[in-house]
A and B are shown apart, each in its own frame.
Chain A
Amino acid sequence: RKEVEQDPGPFNVPEGATVAFNCTYSNSASQSFFWYRQDCRKEPKLLMSVYSSGNEDGRFTAQLNRASQYISLLIRDSKLSDSATYLCVGPGAGSYQLTFGKGTKLSVIP
């Protein structure tokens, strides 16, 4: 089982919609989680870190559920510019690297 798994989508949502992505992880000792955004043919860029108490950055909310071993990303009031692939990231089997999920593709439709 891969350390980090997420639904590949695609998620096609209209502008203004709220959309949520979940990501499960297998390493119960994991402490560090992130959401990255990747635009087509570009490098991944950090969207936000995920803290134990949950955190919000504008229209984006990230949450961590340790009991069920998943993290989530909520996007409110979707914009066309939110169309991208969202990568869930957590620690891998070792202590020295992060493991990336395969990504969830979001398309926001006018």
Chain B
Amino acid sequence: NAGVTQTPKFRVLKTGQSMTLLCAQDMNHEYMYWYRQDPGMGLRLIHYSVGEGTTAKGEVPDGYNVSRLKKQNFLLGLESAAPSQTSVYFCASSYQGVSRAFFGQGTRLTVV
């Protein structure tokens, strides 16, 4: 009964390095989302997907790219990490766009 799984859970990057965060869900959900959460800012939507092969920009997409090649996976990429991308990243999935969302455990990323 995994639900939504994110890897890795922690990561430290140097400025300019790249990395990919993986989100996997086993609930056959169409919709998947990537959020970042910073103190005092709440959850902000980075990118989302309404189905396999689709992606769309959210509220704060700059500096990130995403891919949804398989329905169960949603990847978030940072091509050239910056200290401003230090944050906690949450992946979520839902059956429909406005139905309840299930969250992964989060990835704590620090860019130095």
Contact = CB atoms under 8 A, between A and B. Distances in A.
Interface of A: 8, 31-32, 34, 41-46, 49, 87, 89, 91-92, 94-103
Nearest to B108: A41
Contacts of A31: 98
B97 A34 contact: no
B102 to A, nearest CB: 8
A6 to B, nearest CB: 9
B74 interface: no
Contact of B42 (A46, A96, A102): A102
Interface of B: 31, 33, 35, 40-43, 45, 48, 50, 56, 58, 90, 94, 97-106
B98 A32 contact: yes
Contact of B58 (A8, A32, A45, A97): A97
B43 A44 contact: yes
B43 A96 contact: no
Given A91-B98, A92-B45, A97-B45, A43 B106 contact: yes
A87 B98 CA distance: 15
B103 A45 contact: yes
Query: What 4 pairs between A and B have smallest CB-CB spacing?
Result: A102-B42, A96-B97, A43-B103, A100-B43
Given A31-B98, A34-B100, A103 B45 contact: no
Contacts of B105: 42-43
Given A43-B90, A91-B97, A98-B94, 17 more contacts: A31-B98, A43-B106, A45-B103, A46-B102, A49-B100, A87-B43, A89-B101, A91-B98, A95-B97, A96-B31, A96-B48, A97-B48, A99-B45, A100-B43, A101-B42, A102-B40, A103-B42
Given A100-B42, A100-B43, A101-B42, A44 B100 contact: no
Nearest to B58: A97
Given A92-B45, A103-B42, A98 B106 contact: no
User: Most chain-B CB neighbours within 10 Å: which of A42, A43, A91?
Assistant: A43
Contacts of A41: 106
